[in-house]
Amino acid sequence: MKTVQDINFKDKKALIRVDFNVPLDNAFKVTDATRIEAAKPTIVKILEDGGSCILMSHLGRPKNKENEFSLKHIVETAAAVLGLSVLFVNDCVGPSAEAAVANLNPGEVLLLENLRYYKEETTGDLGFAKQLASLGDVYVNDAFGSAHRAHASTTIIADYFPENKCFGALLASEIFNLEKVLGASQKPVTAIIGGAKVSSKITVIENILDKVDHLIIGGGMAFTFIKAQGGQIGSSLVEDDKQALALQILKTAKEKGVEIHLPVDVIVADQFSEFASTEISPIHEIAEGWMGLDSGPQSNSNFASVILKSKTILWNGPVGVFEMELFSGGTISLGNAIAEATQQGAFSLVGGGDSVAAAKQFNLSQKVSYVSTGGGAMLEMLEGKTLPGIQAILD
Protein backbone atom coordinates (compact mmCIF):
# COMPACT_ATOMS: atom_id res chain seq x y z
CA MET A 1 0.00 0.00 0.00
CA LYS A 2 1.75 3.14 -1.22
CA THR A 3 1.20 6.19 0.99
CA VAL A 4 2.53 9.77 1.12
CA GLN A 5 5.27 8.44 3.39
CA ASP A 6 6.71 6.45 0.47
CA ILE A 7 7.18 9.45 -1.83
CA ASN A 8 9.55 12.41 -1.71
CA PHE A 9 7.52 15.39 -2.89
CA LYS A 10 10.43 17.82 -3.36
CA ASP A 11 9.53 20.22 -6.21
CA LYS A 12 6.45 18.13 -6.96
CA LYS A 13 2.93 19.47 -7.29
CA ALA A 14 0.70 17.08 -5.35
CA LEU A 15 -2.90 16.98 -6.49
CA ILE A 16 -4.76 15.93 -3.35
CA ARG A 17 -8.40 14.85 -3.19
CA VAL A 18 -9.46 15.96 0.27
CA ASP A 19 -12.86 15.83 1.94
CA PHE A 20 -13.58 19.45 2.86
CA ASN A 21 -17.32 18.85 2.70
CA VAL A 22 -17.75 20.62 6.05
CA PRO A 23 -20.89 22.10 7.63
CA LEU A 24 -21.38 25.88 7.25
CA ASP A 25 -23.70 28.20 9.17
CA ASN A 26 -25.92 30.90 7.63
CA ALA A 27 -22.99 33.32 7.47
CA PHE A 28 -20.96 30.64 5.59
CA LYS A 29 -18.64 30.09 8.56
CA VAL A 30 -17.32 26.56 9.10
CA THR A 31 -19.01 25.08 12.19
CA ASP A 32 -16.95 21.88 12.42
CA ALA A 33 -13.40 21.75 11.03
CA THR A 34 -12.75 18.08 11.89
CA ARG A 35 -12.43 17.06 8.24
CA ILE A 36 -9.96 19.85 7.52
CA GLU A 37 -7.88 18.90 10.57
CA ALA A 38 -7.94 15.29 9.38
CA ALA A 39 -6.26 16.28 6.09
CA LYS A 40 -3.47 18.22 7.81
CA PRO A 41 -0.87 15.43 8.25
CA THR A 42 -0.82 14.70 4.51
CA ILE A 43 -0.49 18.37 3.58
CA VAL A 44 2.23 18.98 6.16
CA LYS A 45 4.27 15.96 4.96
CA ILE A 46 4.20 17.18 1.35
CA LEU A 47 5.11 20.76 2.26
CA GLU A 48 7.94 19.59 4.54
CA ASP A 49 9.37 17.58 1.64
CA GLY A 50 9.51 20.82 -0.37
CA GLY A 51 6.46 20.16 -2.53
CA SER A 52 3.27 22.14 -3.12
CA CYS A 53 -0.35 21.10 -2.57
CA ILE A 54 -3.30 21.50 -4.91
CA LEU A 55 -6.40 20.67 -2.88
CA MET A 56 -9.58 19.53 -4.58
CA SER A 57 -12.88 18.78 -2.85
CA HIS A 58 -16.61 18.92 -3.21
CA LEU A 59 -18.91 20.88 -0.91
CA GLY A 60 -22.57 19.99 -0.64
CA ARG A 61 -24.68 19.17 -3.66
CA PRO A 62 -24.76 22.22 -5.94
CA LYS A 63 -27.12 22.16 -8.93
CA ASN A 64 -25.58 25.17 -10.61
CA LYS A 65 -22.62 27.20 -9.40
CA GLU A 66 -24.45 28.56 -6.34
CA ASN A 67 -22.38 30.85 -4.12
CA GLU A 68 -23.44 28.96 -0.99
CA PHE A 69 -21.47 25.92 -2.17
CA SER A 70 -18.27 27.82 -3.00
CA LEU A 71 -15.12 26.47 -1.39
CA LYS A 72 -13.97 30.07 -0.93
CA HIS A 73 -15.95 29.93 2.35
CA ILE A 74 -13.50 27.30 3.61
CA VAL A 75 -10.26 29.22 2.88
CA GLU A 76 -10.06 31.13 6.16
CA THR A 77 -10.63 28.05 8.32
CA ALA A 78 -8.25 25.93 6.23
CA ALA A 79 -5.56 28.59 6.65
CA ALA A 80 -6.15 28.71 10.42
CA VAL A 81 -6.03 24.92 10.76
CA LEU A 82 -2.90 24.57 8.60
CA GLY A 83 -1.22 27.64 10.07
CA LEU A 84 -0.31 29.09 6.67
CA SER A 85 -1.98 31.07 3.91
CA VAL A 86 -4.16 29.15 1.50
CA LEU A 87 -4.50 30.38 -2.09
CA PHE A 88 -7.82 29.96 -3.85
CA VAL A 89 -8.82 29.82 -7.50
CA ASN A 90 -12.43 30.14 -8.58
CA ASP A 91 -12.44 27.11 -10.87
CA CYS A 92 -11.15 23.57 -10.64
CA VAL A 93 -10.27 23.08 -14.33
CA GLY A 94 -9.60 25.35 -17.30
CA PRO A 95 -7.37 28.39 -17.87
CA SER A 96 -7.70 30.06 -14.44
CA ALA A 97 -6.98 26.82 -12.57
CA GLU A 98 -4.04 26.09 -14.89
CA ALA A 99 -2.62 29.60 -14.40
CA ALA A 100 -2.91 29.36 -10.61
CA VAL A 101 -1.13 26.00 -10.64
CA ALA A 102 1.61 27.33 -12.94
CA ASN A 103 2.30 30.10 -10.39
CA LEU A 104 2.32 27.74 -7.42
CA ASN A 105 5.68 27.53 -5.59
CA PRO A 106 7.06 24.84 -3.30
CA GLY A 107 5.65 25.30 0.20
CA GLU A 108 2.36 26.77 -1.08
CA VAL A 109 -1.18 25.45 -0.85
CA LEU A 110 -3.83 26.12 -3.48
CA LEU A 111 -7.50 25.24 -3.00
CA LEU A 112 -9.55 24.67 -6.15
CA GLU A 113 -13.23 25.62 -6.47
CA ASN A 114 -15.95 23.03 -5.82
CA LEU A 115 -15.54 19.95 -8.05
CA ARG A 116 -19.30 19.45 -8.11
CA TYR A 117 -19.80 22.74 -9.94
CA TYR A 118 -19.24 20.35 -12.87
CA LYS A 119 -21.69 17.47 -13.27
CA GLU A 120 -18.79 15.61 -14.91
CA GLU A 121 -17.36 15.08 -11.42
CA THR A 122 -20.16 12.79 -10.25
CA THR A 123 -20.67 11.13 -13.63
CA GLY A 124 -17.00 10.16 -13.56
CA ASP A 125 -16.29 11.83 -16.90
CA LEU A 126 -12.96 10.82 -18.46
CA GLY A 127 -12.27 14.17 -20.09
CA PHE A 128 -12.93 16.05 -16.86
CA ALA A 129 -10.69 13.63 -14.91
CA LYS A 130 -7.96 14.17 -17.51
CA GLN A 131 -8.24 17.96 -17.16
CA LEU A 132 -7.93 17.66 -13.39
CA ALA A 133 -5.03 15.23 -13.73
CA SER A 134 -3.09 17.70 -15.91
CA LEU A 135 -2.76 19.99 -12.86
CA GLY A 136 -0.47 17.79 -10.72
CA ASP A 137 2.60 15.57 -10.81
CA VAL A 138 1.40 13.12 -8.17
CA TYR A 139 -2.20 12.15 -7.27
CA VAL A 140 -2.95 11.66 -3.59
CA ASN A 141 -6.33 10.42 -2.41
CA ASP A 142 -7.03 11.44 1.19
CA ALA A 143 -10.83 11.62 1.00
CA PHE A 144 -12.11 8.57 2.84
CA GLY A 145 -15.60 10.10 3.07
CA SER A 146 -15.85 9.99 -0.75
CA ALA A 147 -13.90 6.79 -1.42
CA HIS A 148 -17.09 4.78 -1.98
CA ARG A 149 -17.97 6.90 -5.03
CA ALA A 150 -16.49 6.30 -8.48
CA HIS A 151 -16.31 10.00 -9.23
CA ALA A 152 -13.81 11.73 -11.54
CA SER A 153 -11.64 13.11 -8.71
CA THR A 154 -11.86 10.09 -6.40
CA THR A 155 -11.41 7.18 -8.80
CA ILE A 156 -11.25 7.88 -12.55
CA ILE A 157 -8.36 10.36 -12.21
CA ALA A 158 -6.05 7.70 -10.75
CA ASP A 159 -5.68 6.10 -14.19
CA TYR A 160 -3.71 9.14 -15.33
CA PHE A 161 -1.08 8.53 -12.65
CA PRO A 162 -0.11 4.87 -13.16
CA GLU A 163 3.17 5.31 -11.26
CA ASN A 164 2.56 8.49 -9.28
CA LYS A 165 -0.45 7.87 -7.06
CA CYS A 166 -0.76 7.08 -3.39
CA PHE A 167 -2.97 7.12 -0.31
CA GLY A 168 -2.94 10.17 1.90
CA ALA A 169 -2.19 9.68 5.60
CA LEU A 170 -5.85 9.88 6.62
CA LEU A 171 -7.12 7.39 4.06
CA ALA A 172 -4.23 5.05 4.90
CA SER A 173 -5.04 5.17 8.60
CA GLU A 174 -8.76 4.63 7.97
CA ILE A 175 -7.93 1.47 6.00
CA PHE A 176 -5.38 0.35 8.59
CA ASN A 177 -7.73 0.82 11.54
CA LEU A 178 -10.76 -0.78 9.87
CA GLU A 179 -8.55 -3.68 8.89
CA LYS A 180 -7.55 -3.98 12.55
CA VAL A 181 -11.22 -4.63 13.32
CA LEU A 182 -12.26 -6.65 10.27
CA GLY A 183 -9.17 -8.83 10.32
CA ALA A 184 -8.93 -8.77 14.09
CA SER A 185 -6.59 -11.18 15.78
CA GLN A 186 -7.35 -9.77 19.22
CA LYS A 187 -10.38 -11.72 20.41
CA PRO A 188 -13.09 -11.57 21.63
CA VAL A 189 -14.37 -9.19 18.96
CA THR A 190 -17.60 -7.32 19.68
CA ALA A 191 -19.62 -5.23 17.25
CA ILE A 192 -22.34 -2.91 18.45
CA ILE A 193 -24.81 -2.08 15.73
CA GLY A 194 -27.47 0.43 16.70
CA GLY A 195 -29.48 3.14 15.02
CA ALA A 196 -32.96 3.46 13.67
CA LYS A 197 -33.53 0.76 11.08
CA VAL A 198 -32.44 -2.80 10.38
CA SER A 199 -32.94 -2.25 6.65
CA SER A 200 -30.02 0.20 6.42
CA LYS A 201 -27.60 -2.17 8.19
CA ILE A 202 -28.57 -5.65 6.97
CA THR A 203 -25.55 -6.11 4.74
CA VAL A 204 -23.29 -4.83 7.50
CA ILE A 205 -24.75 -7.31 10.00
CA GLU A 206 -24.52 -10.21 7.54
CA ASN A 207 -20.89 -9.47 6.70
CA ILE A 208 -19.87 -8.81 10.28
CA LEU A 209 -21.20 -12.18 11.48
CA ASP A 210 -18.11 -13.77 9.96
CA LYS A 211 -15.80 -11.51 11.92
CA VAL A 212 -17.18 -11.17 15.44
CA ASP A 213 -17.71 -13.23 18.57
CA HIS A 214 -20.42 -10.96 20.01
CA LEU A 215 -22.96 -8.76 18.29
CA ILE A 216 -24.90 -6.22 20.32
CA ILE A 217 -28.01 -5.05 18.47
CA GLY A 218 -29.54 -1.92 19.98
CA GLY A 219 -31.57 1.17 19.17
CA GLY A 220 -34.70 1.22 17.06
CA MET A 221 -33.66 -1.79 15.03
CA ALA A 222 -33.83 -4.10 18.05
CA PHE A 223 -37.64 -4.01 18.04
CA THR A 224 -37.92 -5.79 14.69
CA PHE A 225 -35.97 -8.68 16.25
CA ILE A 226 -38.07 -8.64 19.43
CA LYS A 227 -41.37 -8.59 17.53
CA ALA A 228 -40.15 -11.39 15.27
CA GLN A 229 -39.51 -13.44 18.42
CA GLY A 230 -43.13 -12.88 19.47
CA GLY A 231 -42.59 -9.91 21.81
CA GLN A 232 -45.10 -7.12 22.45
CA ILE A 233 -43.36 -3.90 21.43
CA GLY A 234 -46.18 -1.34 21.78
CA SER A 235 -45.72 1.48 19.32
CA SER A 236 -41.94 1.17 19.09
CA LEU A 237 -40.21 1.55 15.73
CA VAL A 238 -40.54 -1.63 13.69
CA GLU A 239 -40.05 -2.83 10.12
CA ASP A 240 -42.63 -5.58 9.79
CA ASP A 241 -41.33 -6.73 6.42
CA LYS A 242 -37.91 -7.39 7.94
CA GLN A 243 -39.06 -9.77 10.69
CA ALA A 244 -38.27 -12.93 8.71
CA LEU A 245 -34.84 -11.55 7.93
CA ALA A 246 -34.28 -10.76 11.61
CA LEU A 247 -35.01 -14.39 12.50
CA GLN A 248 -32.70 -15.54 9.72
CA ILE A 249 -29.91 -13.34 11.12
CA LEU A 250 -30.40 -14.86 14.59
CA LYS A 251 -30.26 -18.37 13.09
CA THR A 252 -27.12 -17.65 11.05
CA ALA A 253 -25.46 -16.11 14.09
CA LYS A 254 -26.15 -19.27 16.07
CA GLU A 255 -24.70 -21.46 13.31
CA LYS A 256 -21.59 -19.31 13.20
CA GLY A 257 -21.20 -19.33 16.98
CA VAL A 258 -21.80 -15.58 17.31
CA GLU A 259 -23.52 -14.53 20.53
CA ILE A 260 -26.24 -11.97 19.86
CA HIS A 261 -27.12 -9.55 22.64
CA LEU A 262 -30.44 -7.73 22.36
CA PRO A 263 -31.79 -5.33 24.99
CA VAL A 264 -33.82 -7.04 27.72
CA ASP A 265 -35.38 -3.85 29.06
CA VAL A 266 -36.05 -0.41 27.63
CA ILE A 267 -37.00 3.10 28.64
CA VAL A 268 -40.50 3.46 27.23
CA ALA A 269 -42.21 6.78 26.61
CA ASP A 270 -45.81 7.81 25.95
CA GLN A 271 -44.70 10.15 23.16
CA PHE A 272 -41.64 10.82 21.00
CA SER A 273 -40.68 13.91 22.96
CA GLU A 274 -38.27 15.30 25.50
CA PHE A 275 -41.36 15.98 27.65
CA ALA A 276 -42.71 12.42 27.57
CA SER A 277 -43.62 10.40 30.64
CA THR A 278 -41.23 7.45 30.89
CA GLU A 279 -41.04 4.04 32.54
CA ILE A 280 -38.74 1.05 32.48
CA SER A 281 -40.31 -1.95 30.74
CA PRO A 282 -39.21 -5.46 29.83
CA ILE A 283 -38.60 -5.24 26.07
CA HIS A 284 -40.92 -8.18 25.27
CA GLU A 285 -43.85 -6.68 27.19
CA ILE A 286 -44.24 -3.05 26.16
CA ALA A 287 -47.78 -1.82 26.77
CA GLU A 288 -49.94 -0.51 23.93
CA GLY A 289 -49.34 3.18 23.26
CA TRP A 290 -45.80 3.15 24.68
CA MET A 291 -42.61 3.18 22.63
CA GLY A 292 -39.08 2.08 23.54
CA LEU A 293 -36.68 4.96 23.04
CA ASP A 294 -33.58 3.95 25.00
CA SER A 295 -32.00 0.80 26.39
CA GLY A 296 -32.84 0.09 30.04
CA PRO A 297 -30.55 -0.37 33.07
CA GLN A 298 -30.33 -4.19 32.87
CA SER A 299 -29.52 -4.02 29.14
CA ASN A 300 -26.88 -1.37 29.77
CA SER A 301 -25.27 -3.53 32.40
CA ASN A 302 -25.40 -6.61 30.12
CA PHE A 303 -23.87 -4.66 27.23
CA ALA A 304 -21.14 -3.25 29.48
CA SER A 305 -20.10 -6.68 30.71
CA VAL A 306 -19.78 -7.98 27.12
CA ILE A 307 -17.80 -4.90 26.14
CA LEU A 308 -15.48 -5.08 29.14
CA LYS A 309 -14.38 -8.59 28.27
CA SER A 310 -13.77 -7.70 24.59
CA LYS A 311 -10.37 -7.02 23.06
CA THR A 312 -11.62 -5.53 19.78
CA ILE A 313 -14.72 -3.32 19.63
CA LEU A 314 -16.59 -1.78 16.73
CA TRP A 315 -19.37 0.70 17.43
CA ASN A 316 -21.80 1.87 14.79
CA GLY A 317 -25.08 3.50 15.73
CA PRO A 318 -26.63 4.75 18.99
CA VAL A 319 -28.72 2.47 21.23
CA GLY A 320 -31.35 5.14 21.92
CA VAL A 321 -32.65 8.48 20.74
CA PHE A 322 -29.51 10.13 22.16
CA GLU A 323 -30.35 13.51 20.62
CA MET A 324 -32.89 13.91 23.45
CA GLU A 325 -31.29 14.00 26.89
CA LEU A 326 -34.12 11.91 28.31
CA PHE A 327 -33.14 9.00 26.07
CA SER A 328 -29.36 9.44 25.98
CA GLY A 329 -28.51 7.31 29.04
CA GLY A 330 -28.07 4.02 27.15
CA THR A 331 -25.75 5.51 24.54
CA ILE A 332 -23.71 7.29 27.23
CA SER A 333 -23.42 4.09 29.27
CA LEU A 334 -22.36 2.16 26.18
CA GLY A 335 -19.79 4.80 25.23
CA ASN A 336 -18.38 4.80 28.77
CA ALA A 337 -18.04 1.02 28.74
CA ILE A 338 -16.15 1.23 25.42
CA ALA A 339 -13.90 3.94 26.88
CA GLU A 340 -13.19 1.76 29.94
CA ALA A 341 -12.43 -1.31 27.82
CA THR A 342 -10.09 0.84 25.71
CA GLN A 343 -8.30 2.03 28.81
CA GLN A 344 -7.83 -1.63 29.77
CA GLY A 345 -6.13 -2.30 26.43
CA ALA A 346 -8.92 -3.11 23.97
CA PHE A 347 -8.86 -1.63 20.47
CA SER A 348 -12.04 0.33 19.78
CA LEU A 349 -13.26 1.91 16.59
CA VAL A 350 -16.26 4.22 16.37
CA GLY A 351 -17.66 4.98 12.98
CA GLY A 352 -20.69 5.92 10.93
CA GLY A 353 -22.46 9.29 11.21
CA ASP A 354 -24.56 9.20 14.35
CA SER A 355 -22.25 7.25 16.62
CA VAL A 356 -19.45 9.69 15.80
CA ALA A 357 -21.81 12.56 16.68
CA ALA A 358 -22.72 10.77 19.93
CA ALA A 359 -19.06 10.12 20.77
CA LYS A 360 -18.32 13.81 20.25
CA GLN A 361 -21.36 15.00 22.18
CA PHE A 362 -20.42 12.87 25.20
CA ASN A 363 -16.66 13.65 25.02
CA LEU A 364 -15.69 10.10 24.15
CA SER A 365 -13.68 10.81 20.99
CA GLN A 366 -10.37 10.95 22.88
CA LYS A 367 -11.19 7.85 24.91
CA VAL A 368 -11.63 5.39 22.05
CA SER A 369 -8.81 4.09 19.86
CA TYR A 370 -10.03 5.45 16.54
CA VAL A 371 -12.90 7.56 15.24
CA SER A 372 -13.60 7.02 11.56
CA THR A 373 -14.35 10.08 9.43
CA GLY A 374 -16.40 8.39 6.73
CA GLY A 375 -20.09 7.57 7.21
CA GLY A 376 -21.20 5.85 4.00
CA ALA A 377 -17.66 4.79 3.10
CA MET A 378 -17.16 3.15 6.48
CA LEU A 379 -20.50 1.29 6.21
CA GLU A 380 -19.59 0.01 2.74
CA MET A 381 -16.26 -1.27 4.05
CA LEU A 382 -18.10 -3.01 6.88
CA GLU A 383 -20.34 -4.54 4.23
CA GLY A 384 -17.20 -6.13 2.81
CA LYS A 385 -17.11 -4.03 -0.35
CA THR A 386 -13.90 -2.83 -1.97
CA LEU A 387 -14.30 0.90 -2.35
CA PRO A 388 -13.60 2.21 -5.87
CA GLY A 389 -11.46 5.09 -4.57
CA ILE A 390 -9.24 2.63 -2.69
CA GLN A 391 -9.10 0.11 -5.53
CA ALA A 392 -8.04 2.83 -7.99
CA ILE A 393 -4.88 3.51 -5.97
CA LEU A 394 -4.12 -0.19 -5.55
CA ASP A 395 -4.53 -1.00 -9.29
Q: Which residues participate in catalysis according to the annotation? A: 35, 197, 353, 376
Q: Residue 21: in which H helix or E strand, if any?
A: none
> Per rule CB under 6 A, is residue 296 in the interface with ligand AMP?
no
Instruction: Assign 346 to helix, strand or coil.
Output: coil
- Ramachandran region of residue 204, left (φ > 0), alpha (ψ -120 to 50) or beta? alpha
**From 168, 220, 234, 329, residue interacting with ligand AMP (rule: CB under 6 A):** 220
- Segments of the chain assigned E as strands: 13-17, 52-56, 86-89, 109-112, 138-141, 165-167, 189-193, 214-217, 232-233, 259-261, 265-269, 278-282, 285-286, 291-295, 312-316, 347-350, 370-371
Please state the closest distance from residue 321 (CB atom) to ligand AMP, in A.
4
Closest CB to ligand AMP among 351 and 389?
Answer: 351
Please state the closest distance from residue 36 (CB atom) to ligand AMP, in A.
24
**From 196, 250, 264, 276, residue interacting with ligand AMP (rule: CB under 6 A):** 196
Closest CB to ligand AMP among 150 and 324?
Answer: 324
**From 30, 93, 170, 293, residue interacting with ligand AMP (rule: CB under 6 A):** 293
Q: Which residue's Cβ has the minimum distance to ligand AMP?
A: 195
Report CA dihedral (239, 243, 246, 251) to the nearest 10 degrees.
180
> Per rule CB under 6 A, is residue 200 in the interface with ligand AMP?
yes
Please state the closest distance from residue 238 (CB atom) to ligand AMP, in A.
10
Q: Are strands 265-269 and 291-295 parallel, antiparallel or unpaired?
A: antiparallel
> Per rule CB under 6 A, is residue 195 in the interface with ligand AMP?
yes
Closest CB to ligand AMP among 106 and 353?
Answer: 353
Closest CB to ligand AMP among 157 and 222?
Answer: 222
Q: Name which of residues 301 to 320 contact ligand AMP (CB under 6 A).
A: 317-318, 320
> Per rule CB under 6 A, is residue 375 in the interface with ligand AMP?
no
Residues forming a β-bridge with 54: 15, 110
Please state the closest distance from residue 376 (CB atom) to ligand AMP, in A.
11
CA 112, CA 37: separation in Å to the nearest integer?
18
16: buried, middle or exposed (CB in 10 Å: 19+, 13-18, 0-12)? buried
Closest CB to ligand AMP among 166 and 321?
Answer: 321
> Per rule CB under 6 A, is residue 388 in the interface with ligand AMP?
no
Using CB under 6 A as the binding criterion, the count of chain residues that bind ligand AMP stands at 16
Query: Is 92:53 a contact under the CB 8 Å cutoff?
Result: no
> Per rule CB under 6 A, is residue 263 in the interface with ligand AMP?
no
**From 323, 326, 376, 391, residue interacting with ligand AMP (rule: CB under 6 A):** 323
CA 59, CA 80: separation in Å to the nearest integer?
19
> Per rule CB under 6 A, is residue 321 in the interface with ligand AMP?
yes
Please calculate the CA angle 213-344-188 and round it to the nearest 5 degrees. Answer: 10
Instruction: Assign 246 to helix, strand or coil.
Output: helix
CA 216, CA 57: separation in Å to the nearest integer?
36
Closest CB to ligand AMP among 231 and 320?
Answer: 320
Instruction: List residues binding ligand AMP (CB under 6 A).
Output: 195-197, 200, 219-220, 237, 292-293, 317-318, 320-321, 323, 353-354
